[in-house]
Structure 1
């Protein structure tokens, strides 16, 4: 044997055991016309939290690189991690952190690979001075801020490598547009070393519209194509999936092309001749379904639109498409259960001619639980290699000791790769065939934290975060069917925000994860502080960087504000608590930090706070085992800032109870718990006895109407679904001997919708009296009899009038804040019709919302105040405070746009007149006209308009005077910034 062959043999001898062992968990499956050996493995080693947003790319040597976001792994914050695999799916070392900087959130990564190595991009909070920015990094290189425009949110990045032999890369993302509430697709080219080439690129250009969720594909010669989703804020139904081609310098080649009116969440891949394959989701009845279309280089359709999962039906999400050098392609999507709690990844293969190669097949091996690709992203999640391998990145269970892990499924052709592989790989593949299926867990280094992911996970926090985006209409004076209110705390970087509120005689105190703020009752901000860290509200008490789930109350007995939150620092659990020195929250506060690790453990979560005449009650969930801590403060000891006198009781086996905000003239502090099962009709009441001595708990149960555990919530314009967790009591209040409580539930066994259930109980002096509580009345609120009413809160005033606040969405409505009301004299078991308080302007594509809302009674009267969450971007939330006093004898104030009008003639063959009414004089009025694809085609403006009925004439032409084609057109009116949807216009030719 020649000497120069010996090192190769030595390497082969060393590598073979590793490769064979690493591929031993493969099992044979038939996929379409092919047989495969399937490898499925967990990528993440850290298992103390959830891993999501998994993306991957094919490297130049045939290996793979996968990236994901990991919740709370970096000092309570999100971080981005990566792991490499060889061509057969063997792990090439441990998981590695991608982001070099710490102290802020790093999320939603994307990766490209190939010649020049791997290049990664992701969102980072606050590093550009305003909400999210986009960072990029070559493997082994430094981080680089890619976005030049820093105002507002830059979000949902994706990345590709370009052809042409220069190893250039393209990063693209959704950023703000020129007008308030609008957005456009932006990008940046970088060279092989990761250095920017030229300026930031503006890749889409429709004024007044919101362009988001970009994806891209490389074209021969170094050019690229970009696909994105367009929506028009305030005009549901306008928009769709767009596509545009660019040369290697980022110059547009032709106009934007509308591919799929009404479509959402596109994925794009290139074909070898310069054509494209594009996949998207399209509404079909109440579900989203995957669609596929092949396009020629001139963007002409090749064949008809395909429905890869036609036989399955159901709710599909996360669609992705991949191609190879032979022109073959594969489409993958998630298929969700009717209640949205289980999901699987499915795929279907197509030949170079576009003909399907067999039926759709399930990608993930484990059929139970949640296994799903990332939704609403252009990042690559699916790879079809030239040698026939198929790789899919997804998150979820997988049956490998992590219910929320990052996973990869690799399908290897059972008859060998079509392309030539190395000797080592071919020998390892042969050994794999001989050994058959095994289930060896992937090798891993020591975990960062022990324990499985929790069913309800605390949010994470960004300590250097600048505020999120302001609302284009930050306040509302009332009238027009809406309550008066204002934008309160803007996005702080925590997800979800957990908004909460308390009302005093002259002030409103609001809190979210990441902030505590005081306002006047007219909405003027008085102060705002972070709730964590040395510079935060509890900084002097030593609070660390992971303070979460805050709540605030106003104690009407002693006229004080109170605030509290959970904290996890250095593997210990704390309550942080504060009480104001007076009814003025701008004055002094007495602040405390209680280490409760020795009492219950180091994994505090989901707290509540309540107060009565003698004590303050702080409660929280703990895990392993499941326990519930009731931590009690002597009220007299803390009202003056003295040393706190405390007692406690730890209950085992039951968690997530609801506590009344304040209790007066009651025999005990009550707690309420919903039976935790798929179907239930039992509620348990608990009472805290002898709270300042040796506290103990007693309980009694009561049967109520049956409910089912809620499934996920859906909303307009996205396939992403909101987690609702369980039917826990998020809110309750005690007044005049009655306990009012609410929770969200599934009203039917199908669990395909969520409703807001409320109750009034007569406590009858229990437990002192010995008489058990009874149900006085209950009801279920679900606007329109369908949809998803979630995260509800309830209160009652001194007159016995009750009000409830909740989030609402449906497949035809964005997430909104709504409230309902009942007078004490109304018929039992009824609420009056809900009122929409504030509506999101866009689809929200994240999976967490809430986790709660809050509603309170003004101590100065009977008025109700509430706080809730709404969305201003795909991942950009804000909060809204509003108030109302239901008085049917008072005429509501007229809105500025008293009527959005009607059009005549409609349909028309040219001119049409739009009539509307102003409730008061307006400085300026704007009529915007959009086509069905969401492109603004005309804007008519008038100034100095008087109150009363007015009209505008549209001649059926665009801004250049060109006659527009026949079709459906949407209108939107704005008077001094106040927007309303106008009539839809049908133009005939």
Structure 2
């Protein structure tokens, strides 16, 4: 196991910016050269060569229950609260790569999805394609190769879109839309890393776009404020020493949602550790806080002392050494359960008085059946003491003998948590897993309200799309390396993209909400409403349909997370009106955060 880093070293290694450009309008690029990407003949990704299996020194079957998943932490009974069906639900791209590895995000009017090797498509929010599918590399001039592991993000704080993929020669390609319209032009950046960035994962933070990958103790940071303006943007690598065994490993940077982290807030990078690794590892979550100083010509970065938070219950994150984990009906072959990593994203949120981080990863329920399911955790950080602790955790595994995996978790503005995932079951699995029915790889979701008993998902499981067939992709056990749940800018609608089976592998895009009413009726009409208008040097803010008359804070931030001013207001009749002084501010986009410990909304305003 790797040793811990010595805190205080601020040296970084700069990443070379090889190329910067501005693309033609995307609508012109896509429609002038329409391409066909859908194919049943899948090319198997070669990235498995870079993903050695982790070493587990101890195991539940040989060394006892201390290395197994604690049965008392498992939610065996599914929730019963009436859910809502998907709002939008359509088939996404398939592409020619195996696995598809879909990534996607929603903006005010668009949804963008990218899949491996690396077609991109832009839809409206009911699923109508707005342009032909296009290769991500076509945004660059000259065109660059399309190798894969795409990431799509919508930077709601700046109202810009973010696309990325890796390339040969250790290349990292990043594109930022020049405006809120993804059909327009894009800034394109090409960087060269010191090693190949397999399984790259990005997050949005106040001072940068942060990236981790499957090379263990290294993080990359890119100069967000410069990228948003289309300026020369620096990037660098910073080494640190997380605890991990040999093999596939990717720590996960916190990805901001809701309000932008305040200026000066260190970025937390998360990992889990498993006592089965040996070497003194325990069942825990570790946090590494990164602080960057962009002021010098060569930036500096420090990593604070490691924070270790024991989980409340034991878990077993081990997986098959040949990645054969998930039974499917009608086949003796199994699918890769993608063990060894936190799943994308680790969503970070700032509330009044505390911060949250929600995360999930795959676990083996017991050493006999080897059935796999999902462990999820909510951490909370006290904003005064800065101490992190486990607020709640659970293992979602209803007693139906099915495997659940390829999940992605997120929390909305009401504090409700959604968990979306793939499910598969086989009544002929050997050894028996107790499946009550055959389930081809399909997509489902569940969730919980903030008031539900801790560690449980209170909503009934909902089918987004039922699969058919085995899901065997290109004759291999490759299924998917990640899926993605992102939040709509409205703060309460979840968007998920992932894989399901139709003969081979398909991707799906769907959205849903978790109703706060006990009847399961969509209460969107009763959600809090905000209106703003500017009168000279004052922004007038009106709020209605608030959840209570409890005291609220009203804070104004810029798009880098710097707080400009703030006040407290006392609603009456679940409403209030107030003004915010914007005298002396530059024209541009700003963020108003309204909230208290039990509620939060972020309102975007444009100051003239």
Question: TM-score, normalised to structure 1's length?
Answer: 0.39
Evaluate the alpha carbon distance shift between residue 543 and residue 868 of structure 1 in structure 2; reply closer, same or farther with a 3 A threshold. same
Q: Is the 8 A contact 1:560 1:582 kept in 2?
A: yes
Q: Which residue of 2 aligns with 1:675?
A: 273
Q: Which residue among 156, 177, 180 is the counterpart of 1:556?
A: 156
Q: Which residue of 2 aligns with 1:694?
A: 300
**Structure with more relative contact order (C-alpha pairs < 8 Å, separation 6 or more):** 2
Number of residues of Structure 1 aligned to a counterpart in Structure 2:
413
Q: Which residue among 578, 602, 609 is the counterpart of 2:175?
A: 578
In the TM superposition, residue 789 of structure 1 has moved relative to its aligned partner by 0.9
1:515 has 2:82 as partner: no
CA distance in 1, matches of 2:98, 2:49: 20
Q: Is the 8 A contact 1:502 1:554 kept in 2?
A: yes
Q: Which residue among 856, 864, 872 is the counterpart of 2:502?
A: 872
Q: Which residue of 2 aligns with 1:858?
A: 488
1:588 has 2:189 as partner: no
**Partner-residue secondary structure (3-state), 2:214:** strand
Q: Which residue among 788, 800, 804 is the counterpart of 2:403?
A: 788
Q: Which residue of 2 aligns with 1:544?
A: 145
In the TM superposition, residue 510 of structure 1 has moved relative to its aligned partner by 1.1
Q: Which residue of 2 aligns with 1:713?
A: 326
Mapping of residues 142-153 of structure 1, within 5 Å? 153=40
Evaluate the alpha carbon distance shift between residue 831 and residue 668 of structure 1 in structure 2; reply closer, same or farther with a 3 A threshold. same
CA distance in 1, matches of 2:414, 2:108: 18
Q: Which residue among 88, 92, 98 is the counterpart of 1:495?
A: 98
Q: Which residue of 2 aligns with 1:752?
A: 370
Q: Is the 8 A contact 2:83 2:520 kept in 1?
A: no
In the TM superposition, residue 690 of structure 1 has moved relative to its aligned partner by 2.1
Q: Which residue among 811, 815, 827 is the counterpart of 2:441?
A: 815
1:732 has 2:346 as partner: yes
Q: Which residue of 2 aligns with 1:635?
A: 224
Evaluate the alpha carbon distance shift between residue 796 and residue 155 of structure 1 in structure 2; reply closer, same or farther with a 3 A threshold. closer
Q: Is the 8 A contact 2:94 2:115 kept in 1?
A: no
Computing the radius of gyration from Cα coordinates, the structure with the larger value is 1
**Partner-residue secondary structure (3-state), 1:706:** coil
Mapping of residues 234-273 of structure 1, within 5 Å? none
CA distance in 2, matches of 1:629, 1:790: 27
In the TM superposition, residue 542 of structure 1 has moved relative to its aligned partner by 5.0
Mapping of residues 465-484 of structure 1, within 5 Å? 482-484=85-87
Q: Which residue of 2 aligns with 1:665?
A: 261
Q: Deviations over 1:568-615 (max 9, x none)?
A: 2xxx20111111122221222111111113xxx2x3201111112221
Q: Is the 8 A contact 2:468 2:502 kept in 1?
A: yes
Q: Is the 8 A contact 1:756 1:781 kept in 2?
A: yes
In the TM superposition, residue 881 of structure 1 has moved relative to its aligned partner by 1.0
Q: Which residue of 2 aligns with 1:848?
A: 478
In the TM superposition, residue 696 of structure 1 has moved relative to its aligned partner by 2.4
In the TM superposition, residue 697 of structure 1 has moved relative to its aligned partner by 2.1
CA distance in 1, matches of 2:171, 2:142: 11
Q: Is the 8 A contact 1:541 1:591 kept in 2?
A: no
Q: Is the 8 A contact 1:510 1:552 kept in 2?
A: yes
Evaluate the alpha carbon distance shift between residue 649 and residue 483 of structure 1 in structure 2; reply closer, same or farther with a 3 A threshold. same
Q: Is the 8 A contact 2:89 2:464 kept in 1?
A: no
**Partner-residue secondary structure (3-state), 1:690:** strand
1:609 has 2:202 as partner: yes
Unaligned runs of 5+ in 1: 1-128, 133-152, 157-448, 458-478, 893-989
Q: Deviations over 1:204-244 (max 9, x none)?
A: xxxxxxxxxxxxxxxxxxxxxxxxxxxxxxxxxxxxxxxxx
**Partner-residue secondary structure (3-state), 1:842:** coil
Q: Which residue of 1 aligns with 2:131?
A: 527
Q: Is the 8 A contact 1:683 1:703 kept in 2?
A: yes
Q: Deviations over 1:936-960 (max 9, x none)?
A: xxxxxxxxxxxxxxxxxxxxxxxxx
Q: Deviations over 1:176-210 (max 9, x none)?
A: xxxxxxxxxxxxxxxxxxxxxxxxxxxxxxxxxxx
Question: TM-score, normalised to structure 2's length?
Answer: 0.63
Q: Is the 8 A contact 1:707 1:748 kept in 2?
A: no
In the TM superposition, residue 733 of structure 1 has moved relative to its aligned partner by 0.2
Evaluate the alpha carbon distance shift between residue 860 and residue 541 of structure 1 in structure 2; reply closer, same or farther with a 3 A threshold. farther
Task: Say what the alpha-carbon RMSD is for the aligned residues.
Answer: 3.1
Q: Is the 8 A contact 1:700 1:772 kept in 2?
A: no
Q: Which residue among 764, 769, 774 is the counterpart of 2:382?
A: 764
Evaluate the alpha carbon distance shift between residue 656 and residue 745 of structure 1 in structure 2; reply closer, same or farther with a 3 A threshold. same
Q: Deviations over 1:699-737 (max 9, x none)?
A: 211111211124411121111111124241113101121
Q: Which residue of 2 aligns with 1:567?
A: 167
CA distance in 2, matches of 1:594, 1:816: 37
Q: Is the 8 A contact 1:543 1:593 kept in 2?
A: no
Evaluate the alpha carbon distance shift between residue 584 and residue 690 of structure 1 in structure 2; reply closer, same or farther with a 3 A threshold. same
CA distance in 2, matches of 1:480, 1:700: 37
Q: Is the 8 A contact 1:870 1:877 kept in 2?
A: yes
Q: Deviations over 1:389-448 (max 9, x none)?
A: xxxxxxxxxxxxxxxxxxxxxxxxxxxxxxxxxxxxxxxxxxxxxxxxxxxxxxxxxxxx
Q: Is the 8 A contact 1:801 1:824 kept in 2?
A: yes
Q: Is the 8 A contact 2:122 2:133 kept in 1?
A: no
**Partner-residue secondary structure (3-state), 1:809:** strand
Mapping of residues 325-340 of structure 1, within 5 Å? none
CA distance in 1, matches of 2:172, 2:462: 36
Q: Deviations over 1:279-307 (max 9, x none)?
A: xxxxxxxxxxxxxxxxxxxxxxxxxxxxx
In the TM superposition, residue 794 of structure 1 has moved relative to its aligned partner by 0.8
Q: Which residue among 826, 832, 840 is the counterpart of 2:452?
A: 826
Mapping of residues 47-196 of structure 1, within 5 Å? 153=40
CA distance in 2, matches of 1:779, 1:741: 11
CA distance in 2, matches of 1:784, 1:837: 20
**Partner-residue secondary structure (3-state), 1:757:** strand
Q: Which residue of 1 aligns with 2:512?
A: 884
Q: Is the 8 A contact 2:495 2:512 kept in 1?
A: yes
Q: Which residue of 2 aligns with 1:25?
A: none
CA distance in 1, matches of 2:457, 2:293: 36
Q: Which residue among 437, 459, 462 is the counterpart of 1:835?
A: 462
Evaluate the alpha carbon distance shift between residue 697 and residue 749 of structure 1 in structure 2; reply closer, same or farther with a 3 A threshold. farther
Unaligned runs of 5+ in 2: 1-35, 55-81, 427-437, 523-608
Evaluate the alpha carbon distance shift between residue 678 and residue 541 of structure 1 in structure 2; reply closer, same or farther with a 3 A threshold. farther
In the TM superposition, residue 850 of structure 1 has moved relative to its aligned partner by 1.8
Evaluate the alpha carbon distance shift between residue 703 and residue 130 of structure 1 in structure 2; reply closer, same or farther with a 3 A threshold. closer
Mapping of residues 304-453 of structure 1, within 5 Å? none
Q: Deviations over 1:138-186 (max 9, x none)?
A: xxxxxxxxxxxxxxx4899xxxxxxxxxxxxxxxxxxxxxxxxxxxxxx
Evaluate the alpha carbon distance shift between residue 723 and residue 890 of structure 1 in structure 2; reply closer, same or farther with a 3 A threshold. closer
Q: Which residue among 244, 247, 250 is the counterpart of 1:656?
A: 250
Q: Is the 8 A contact 1:489 1:512 kept in 2?
A: no
Q: Is the 8 A contact 1:502 1:510 kept in 2?
A: yes
CA distance in 1, matches of 2:226, 2:236: 12
Evaluate the alpha carbon distance shift between residue 524 and residue 691 of structure 1 in structure 2; reply closer, same or farther with a 3 A threshold. farther
Q: Is the 8 A contact 2:161 2:177 kept in 1?
A: yes
Q: Which residue of 2 aligns with 1:775?
A: 390
Evaluate the alpha carbon distance shift between residue 665 and residue 591 of structure 1 in structure 2; reply closer, same or farther with a 3 A threshold. same
Evaluate the alpha carbon distance shift between residue 676 and residue 565 of structure 1 in structure 2; reply closer, same or farther with a 3 A threshold. farther
CA distance in 1, matches of 2:520, 2:131: 34
1:644 has 2:246 as partner: no
CA distance in 1, matches of 2:332, 2:38: 24
Greater CA drift, 670-679 or 604-613: 670-679
